[in-house]
Structure 1
């Protein structure tokens, strides 16, 4: 911590950016909230605003999903 100029873990800050095609689901959003609280940070999310696969296919018409 001394090398980073911090006296305690609370002085450390992590900058996080997340770029997604689809908006994060409720589970992922919850995990990000826990991460923000634990590491004293704020996650900036940049998303296309898609709520389902329709926007994904609009943005990437050649995209194919294989179901197994």
Structure 2
């Protein structure tokens, strides 16, 4: 990948022009593709955590409704 291609890809992924330090770091890696876009990996337990929170909220609502 050339410097111009790397800069274009960086701009598309990050929505801004890379700083001089970022360009120097990419040069050190010979402009290889990296995940510098700040993309986070999916937490496999995230769906389970959300489901448990919703279940606890519904349970609390039902128990609160029964004892009022």
TM-score normalised by the chain length of structure 1: 0.22
**Bigger radius of gyration among the two:** 2
* Structure with the higher fraction of residues in helix conformation: 2
Which structure has more RCO (C-alpha within 8 Å, separation ≥ 6)? Answer: 1
